Each structure stands twice: as C-alpha cells, then as structure tokens.
Amino acid sequence: MRDDSDFIGAKLALFLGDRLAVIRRDDRPGLDWAGYWDFPGGGREGGETAQDCALRETEEELGIAVPREALVWNRAFLRPDRAVGWLFVGRLPADAAASIRLGDEGQAWALMQPADYLSHPLGIPHFKERLKLYLHVMQRGSVA
C-alpha cells in the first residue's frame, strides 16, 4: 500500500460473494450525493490509517467487522479539491450479509451486482469509475 499519511477519507467496495454492499445516502439538503447509492466509508478520524478508516466506517455504517485479510486491493485517488481519498476493495463470503445492520447513517443498504451499480442512475459517478478500474485490473490479472 502506498503512503497514506495525508488523506481525507476512505471507502470500501465490499463484495459479499459476487455482490456489492451499498448504502443509500441520507436525503437531506446540503449533503453531497444525497439519496445516491454509496460505498461504506467516510472521513478520517485522528491519525488513523486509510485502511483503519475504511474498516471503522464500514463497521459503523453496516455493523460488519471486515478483517484486514479480506482486503484485496487499494488505490489512492486525488479528488477535484486536491485532497487524497482511498478506495479499498474487500471480499467476504455471501453469507456474511446476514451480519449486516444499518447504522445511524443512510436510509437503507442493499446488495447489487457490480454491473447494476455501474448502470444505476443513482450510483455515485466517481465511485463507478473507481469500481470500473478495479474490475478492469482484476480482469487483466495485474495489480496496476
């Protein structure tokens, strides 16, 4: 993993079997991407690492503790505001979905096929692009 000492937040594209766990963002004025389907994750707290941030936020938002060894890919991305954000990809068995409990943020959670997220009108566009990159890298069998 690249140096993660300077970043603003982290997300986790969590596969449960072959489906992605996604959260429908709250629908309130002033919230970026309100009402859209999002990956679990959020802002950094204190001096935590990007990996710790993604795992903590996922547990807070979906009630599921993802072990570090379930993380299979990561990449830092430069946001339009020049801040760094991380995307991690994790994989758990499909039956882990039974442990999911929606936390205090979001309206609902769902499991989606990656293609359904990519084509969904309420998928967050920049996360669609990052998911496409991961899927492309995995299809090629490289770790670009």
Q: How far is CA 101 from CA 21, 63, 127, in A?
A: 11, 5, 23
> Which helix H or strand E contains 73, and what residues bound it?
strand 71-78
Distance of alpha carbon 47 from alpha carbon 50, whole angstroms: 9
| Per-residue model confidence (pLDDT) at position 85 | 93
Per-residue pLDDT of 74-109, as tens digits, reads: 999 988 788 899 999 999 999 999 999 999 999 999
> Which helix H or strand E contains 140, and what residues bound it?
helix 125-140
Could you report the average pLDDT of every consecutive run of 10 residues in the chain (144 residues)? 73 99 96 97 94 98 98 92 93 98 96 98 97 94 60
Which CATH code for domain 7-141? 3.90.79.10
| Domain ranges within the chain, ordered by starting residue | 7-141
Instruction: Locate 60 and state its tokens.
Output: 């807070």
Q: What single-letter DSSP state applies at residue 68?
A: G
What does the mean pLDDT of the chain come to? 94
| Per-residue model confidence (pLDDT) at position 143 | 55
pTM of the model: 0.92
